[in-house]
Amino acid sequence: MTLYEELKARGLVAQITDEEIIDLINNGKATFYIGFDCTADSLTAGHFMALTLMKRLQMAGNRPIALIGGGTTMIGDPSGRTDMRKMLTKEDIAHNAACFKKQMEHFIDFSEGKALMLNNADWLLNLNYVELLREVGACFSVNNMLRAECYKQRMEKGLSFLEFNYMIMQSYDFYYMFQHYGCNMQFGGDDQWSNMLGGTELIRRKLGKDAYAMTITLLTDSQGKKMGKTAGNAVWLDPNKTSPFEFYQYWRNVGDADVMKCIRMLTFLPLEQIDEMSTWKDQRLNEAKEILAYELTKMVHGEEEAVKAQNAARALFSGEADTEHMPTTQLTDADLNDGSIGILTLMVKAGLAASNGEARRLVTQGGVLVDGEKVSAPTASFTAEQLAKGIVIKKGKKVYHKVTL
């Protein structure tokens, strides 16, 4: 099976600009890039598709360029957004870029000649506006830009001129790297298709040469929602933001309808093994979820942490009281009111509910246990003495959290 055939079989390929892509990646002749705007100080589970794709392509002899968006982050990508992104300082962006590099090294070999990490701030921030307009402005049709999928969501609420420039910036990145680094291909999520076509068209019109683009399928659950978030919060690759146990638990708890798709798209297990697993039903789906969670946790946090997380999760499922690797919230005396704290406040502070209202609903529906006992009323509270020993809150069937004082 060729690399492209494998990508298709794993359900990763969404759109390609040209059949030429197939020969290039199969023969290890692509120097390709994927862009990462550094809007936070950690990558998320939502970046998994891009990171694993880069690894697959590199293993086949292609050369990845991880492009850190130090320049484009200052504009903000409007794709899939209903509002404008928060503006970051240069210092914030530089810090976030350094964090990204450290995490990417778990997936990509950046040794000599194997891969590059570039920052588009190095060329975008030095551009003269009038010179840029004269160089590339005539290559973009406003009519075509307004029809682009990435802008459609914003047209009703109002698209700022700042964000309207994002496509030009991303296209210029491809044009610049094509000339200076031999970058002949761009990969990205399917919501980036219009921006990526802008780059191939700019290269064709300015240089008279061909460049290529391929989009990968977005990772969504069976309801069509983007995966990689829990309780409304991102699942981070940074262990200080999402512990290895929490990371493991996120994948261990994916829906029955989603587990095999995740294994196929995200892991490096052989397709023959995955095809055999796809026949599993009922209780064996839990085994598949364990395999998914273990493989991804090992990839991000290493084998030792993956084993710890798996053992801790199994202990909880079997009812044993091993809480060593459980996510924990440490309270202080300032969090207490007259020496105690209510269950609703406690759940919000532990990140188990987004609001008191959500916590109240969970309690009244009987979905909250503390130390194995169902919390009978939303007025329940816990004393400093109880918290000093540590309590374990269980939300629903699968989410555990330890709270101490």
Residue 223 class from Cβ within 10 Å (0-12 exposed, 13-18 middle, 19+ buried)? exposed
- DSSP for 119-166, written as a single string: ETHHHHTT--HHHHHHHHGGG--HHHHHH-HHHHHHHTT---HHHHTH
Among 337, 309, 333, CA closest to 400? 309
- pLDDT greater at residue 144 or residue 155: 144
At residue 92, the pLDDT reads: 83
Asked whether residue 83 carries a pLDDT value surpassing 50, the answer given is no
The C-alpha atoms of residue 5 and residue 15 are separated, in whole angstroms, by: 14
At residue 195, the pLDDT reads: 87
Asked whether residue 164 carries a pLDDT value surpassing 50, the answer given is yes
Listed range (117-131, 162-176, 206-220, 322-336) with the worst mean pLDDT: 322-336
Outline where DSSP puts E strands in 148-306: 185-189, 212-216, 229-230, 233-234
Q: Nearest 5 degrees, angle CA 116-CA 117-CA 122?
A: 120
Residue 98's pLDDT band (boundaries 50, 70, 90)? Answer: confident
**Contact residues for 191 (Cβ-Cβ < 8 A; gap 6+):** 79, 80, 149, 150, 218
In this prediction the pTM is: 0.76
Asked whether residue 352 carries a pLDDT value surpassing 90, the answer given is no
Asked whether residue 325 carries a pLDDT value surpassing 90, the answer given is no
The C-alpha atoms of residue 222 and residue 159 are separated, in whole angstroms, by: 31
User: Above pLDDT 90, what percent of the chain?
Assistant: 41
| Domains by residue range for the chain, with CATH | 3-218 (3.40.50.620), 230-318 (1.10.240.10), 328-403 (3.10.290.10)
Look-up of token digits 């099976």 = 1
324-328 average pLDDT score? 73
Residue 84's pLDDT band (boundaries 50, 70, 90)? Answer: very low
Asked whether residue 257 carries a pLDDT value surpassing 50, the answer given is yes
Coil, strand, or helix at residue 303? helix
At residue 4, the pLDDT reads: 96
Find out whether 78 and 45 touch, Cβ atoms under 8 Å: no
Q: Record the tokens describing residue 20, joined without a space.
A: 């030429």
Residue 76's pLDDT band (boundaries 50, 70, 90)? Answer: low
Highest mean predicted confidence (pLDDT) among 3-12, 137-146, 385-394: 3-12
Residue 368 backbone dihedrals phi, psi, to 5 degrees = -125, 125
Residue 328 backbone dihedrals phi, psi, to 5 degrees = -130, 140
At residue 77, the pLDDT reads: 47
Check whether 229 is labelled as a binding-site residue: yes
Q: Record the tokens describing residue 163, joined without a space.
A: 């964000």
Q: Record the tokens describing residue 374, joined without a space.
A: 């169902």
Average model confidence (pLDDT) for the chain? 86
Among 343, 370, 375, 373, CA closest to 359? 343
Find out whether 171 and 136 touch, Cβ atoms under 8 Å: yes
Among 392, 351, 354, 360, CA closest to 379? 360
Residue 115's pLDDT band (boundaries 50, 70, 90)? Answer: very high
The C-alpha atoms of residue 321 and residue 300 are separated, in whole angstroms, by: 26
- pLDDT greater at residue 363 or residue 154: 363
Check whether 166 is labelled as a binding-site residue: yes
**Contact residues for 53 (Cβ-Cβ < 8 A; gap 6+):** 7, 12, 34, 187, 216
At residue 324, the pLDDT reads: 67
SS3 assignment for 40-56: CCCCEHHHHHHHHHHHH
Check whether 151 is labelled as a binding-site residue: no
DSSP 8-state assignment for residue 86: P
User: Above pLDDT 70, what percent of the chain?
Assistant: 91
Residue 389 identity (one-letter amino acid): K
Asked whether residue 260 carries a pLDDT value surpassing 60, the answer given is yes
Give the tens place of pLDDT for each residue, 24-38.
999 999 999 999 988
The C-alpha atoms of residue 55 and residue 60 are separated, in whole angstroms, by: 9
Coil, strand, or helix at residue 270? coil
Give the tens place of pLDDT for each residue, 41-57.
999 988 988 999 999 99
The C-alpha atoms of residue 258 and residue 384 are separated, in whole angstroms, by: 41
- pLDDT greater at residue 155 or residue 340: 340
Among 111, 45, 110, 101, CA closest to 70? 101
Asked whether residue 263 carries a pLDDT value surpassing 70, the answer given is yes
Check whether 330 is labelled as a binding-site residue: no
Residue 79's pLDDT band (boundaries 50, 70, 90)? Answer: very low
DSSP 8-state assignment for residue 338: T
Asked whether residue 198 carries a pLDDT value surpassing 70, the answer given is yes
